[in-house]
């Protein structure tokens, strides 16, 4: 079954805003077996909006509009939807009363213009808005549905989940769907594709999609079945084959980010971590601490942006920096060892490199990064060439550092397991 989404608002036609509500709605619709076949963005213009809704209603059985339900003159969705469907629009006294009550409860008087929000399309079910004053509307005819939802994500999301999803389940053919996401690090998209294509192309169901993000590749599997168990069985048949082919490049199959995976492994091994960063400027610490609860294993970090700091705070010998340069393998190792010794952490990471755009030389070009990991048994260092803008170089350097940690912690777990 097909759906289309219409995002409404002149601000979405400026260079500053893009519609992101549709990503949430698409995910929810896909989850019940509905495909999105069109997304349209249209401004606060009466004739364009009316035509757009009429066209969509004409060609797709499920239509969702986003926005244009506020109280101002610019908020035209109710009127245009009524006109597109040839239905009347009337002020609903009980709806007006409930909007007024919402203002009263906050000790405020309802401005007159908010009565626009009490306009009710003939035959529509009113969808409560627990987070704002704009109620939604649901119009259903012959197993086809048009729903009008408010624009703010914190209002749209609960309204869709609580009021639309149950109604949609009533009109769409039942289908059980199972999903899995394999997240991969250390392989390019084409390298991953080459490994997995011979396997997944043998299956029409699950459908496999490959997506690339900076420093990461994702495989999305989606299967359809008569029952949930049947759908799950299909994913469970394909996913392990892909995992085996990809080996330890797969870092998660449950949606967890690389920083979460590393955090879980550190916590499970009761190990702690401290980091010393030069070119990444705090991004590694920031990513690690973006995980709630990271204080259980992350002790702290030092951003050593000057050579003096590298020596004073992390005991990197000035003569080493002099001889090898601040961007060098021995300095990365000294940073990792220094932060580990000074902090008493189980693991210490050191990063030094040239993020660009300036500072590169023929011998040490922009994008050259050294990443070192010092642990209880040994120390490793990686020389990596990153390509792209300053922020991409910094991101890829932290991605490589997290992956180095992940692989080391996995080996540690294995060897302690085999000793037991």
Q: Which residues pair with 181 in a beta bridge?
A: 220, 254
Q: Residue 26 — left, alpha, or beta (φ > 0 → left; ψ -120 to 50 → alpha)?
A: alpha
Of residues 132, 158, 282, 330, which one binds its own copies by CB under 8 A?
282
**How many residues are recorded in the chain?**
420
Residue 372's Cα: distance from chain center in Å? 29
Piece in contact with its own copies (CB under 8 A), picked from 41-49, 105-113, 166-174, 409-417: 41-49
Q: Does residue 194 interact with its own copies by CB under 8 A?
A: no
Kindly tell me which of 37 and 233 has the beta carbon lying closer to its own copies.
37
* Residue 331 engages its own copies in binding (rule: CB under 8 A): no
Taking CB under 8 A as the criterion, the residue among 150, 263, 301, 350 binding its own copies is 301
Q: How many CB atoms lie within 10 A of CB 129?
A: 22
Six-digit token string for 317: 């010998």
As a whole number of angstroms, the distance between CA 250 and CA 165 comes to 33
Residues touching its own copies, count (CB under 8 A): 68
Among residues 302, 316, 321, 351, which is the contact residue for its own copies, using CB under 8 A? 302
Show the tokens assigned to 112: 């007159």
* CB-based contact 66:19 (threshold 8 Å): yes
38 part of the interface to its own copies, by CB under 8 A: yes
CB atoms within 10 A of CB 197: 13
Q: What binding mask, one character per residue, do residues 86-125 give for its own copies by CB under 8 A, x or -? A: ----------------------------------------
203: left (phi over 0), alpha (psi -120 to 50) or beta: beta
387 lies in the binding site for its own copies (CB under 8 A): no
Give the span between the Cα atoms of 338 and 328, in whole angstroms: 15
Binding its own copies (rule: CB under 8 A), the pick from 391, 411, 415, 416 is 391
Choosing from 8, 12, 148, 231, the residue that interacts with its own copies (CB under 8 A) is: 12
Assign residue 67 a region: left if phi > 0, alpha if psi is -120 to 50, beta otherwise? left
Of the two residues 17 and 144, which places its CB atom closer to its own copies in the complex? 17
Q: Which residues bind its own copies (CB under 8 A)?
A: 11-20, 22-24, 26-27, 30, 35-43, 45, 48, 52, 55, 209, 211, 218, 220, 275, 277, 280-286, 288-290, 292-295, 298-306, 308-309, 313, 343, 356-358, 390-391, 394
């Amino acid at each position: 079954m097909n759906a289309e989404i219409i995002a409404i608002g002149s601000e979405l036609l400026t260079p500053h805003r893009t519609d992101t509500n549709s990503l949430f709605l698409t995910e929810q619709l896909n989850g019940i077996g509905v495909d999105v076949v069109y997304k349209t963005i249209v401004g606060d213009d009466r004739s364009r909006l009316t035509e757009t809704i009429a066209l969509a209603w004409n060609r797709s059985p499920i239509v969702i509009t986003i926005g244009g339900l506020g109280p101002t003159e610019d908020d035209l969705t109710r009127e245009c939807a009524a006109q597109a469907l040839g239905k009347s629009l009337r002020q609903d006294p009980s709806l007006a009363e409930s909007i007024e009550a919402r203002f009263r409860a906050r000790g405020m008087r309802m401005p007159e213009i908010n009565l626009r929000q009490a306009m009710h399309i003939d035959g529509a079910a009113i969808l409560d808005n627990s987070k704002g004053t704009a109620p939604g509307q649901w119009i259903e005819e012959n197993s086809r549905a048009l729903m009008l939802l408010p624009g703010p994500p914190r209002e749209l999301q609960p309204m869709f989940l609580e009021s639309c999803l149950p109604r949609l389940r009533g009109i769409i053919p039942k289908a059980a769907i199972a999903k899995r996401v394999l997240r991969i690090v250390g392989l390019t998209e084409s390298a991953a594709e080459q490994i997995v294509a011979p396997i997944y192309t043998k299956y029409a169901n699950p459908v496999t999609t490959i997506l690339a993000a900076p420093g990461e590749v994702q495989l999305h599997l989606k299967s359809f079945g008569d029952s949930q168990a049947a759908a799950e069985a299909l994913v469970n048949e394909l996913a392990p084959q892909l995992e085996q082919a990809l080996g330890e490049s797969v870092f998660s199959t449950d949606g967890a980010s690389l920083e979460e995976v590393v955090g879980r492994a550190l916590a499970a091994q009761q190990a702690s971590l401290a980091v010393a960063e030069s070119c990444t400027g705090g991004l590694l610490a920031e990513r690690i601490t973006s995980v709630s609860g990271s204080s259980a294993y992350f002790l702290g970090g030092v951003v050593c942006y000057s050579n003096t700091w590298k020596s004073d705070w992390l005991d990197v010998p000035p003569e080493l920096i002099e001889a090898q340069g601040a961007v060098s393998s021995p300095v990365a190792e000294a940073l990792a060892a220094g932060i580990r010794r000074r902090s008493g952490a189980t693991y210490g990471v050191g990063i030094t490199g040239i993020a660009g755009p300036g500072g590169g030389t023929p011998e040490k070009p922009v994008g050259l990064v050294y990443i070192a990991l010092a642990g209880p048994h040994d120390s490793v260092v990686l020389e990596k060439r990153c390509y792209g803008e300053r922020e991409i170089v910094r991101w890829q350097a932290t991605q490589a550092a997290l992956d180095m940690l992940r692989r080391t912690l996995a080996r540690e777990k294995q060897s302690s397991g085999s000793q037991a």
